[in-house]
Amino acid sequence: MKFYLSILFLFGINLVVGAKPQRLKHVVTITFSANASDAQIKEIDDSFQGLTKIPVVKGYEWGTAVNQKDATLRQHVYAFTFDQASDLEIYAKSKEHQAHIKVGANITAGVSAIDYLLND
């Protein structure tokens, strides 16, 4: 029995009745190349906003990064909230996201992403 419960725990199977999965935050930071125009950056901002139409997206916010080491660096941060970690895969495979990842590739100097579970 102990072995069986260990396997369930290892694979994240929750036996607690009524327990809900932890929400997930997916945060993407885009660093724009020096030649990126304001219109091109807006196209990327709008594309991220469009991803909120994907049903598994439960929250969204974005803003301009503050870089105290290099004020000339242009970065935007986009944060999505999902009800559970498995929703991220649905989001990533959606046709909207697949089209989105091609937008602005020529003006992007760097992309980073981090995912974390919310402790609420």
HEC readout, 58-108: EEEEEEECCCCCCCCCCEEEEEEEECCCCHHHHHHHCHHHHHHCCCCHHHE
Identify the pLDDT of residue 8. Answer: 42
Mean pLDDT of 1-27: 62
What residue has token string 């919310």?
A: 118
Q: Which residue has the higher pLDDT, 93 or 16?
A: 93
What residue has token string 């029995």?
A: 1
Identify the pLDDT of residue 16. Answer: 53
Structural domains of the chain ordered from first start: 18-117 (3.30.70.100)
pLDDT tens by residue, 63-111 = 999 988 888 889 999 999 999 999 999 999 999 999 999 999 899 999 9
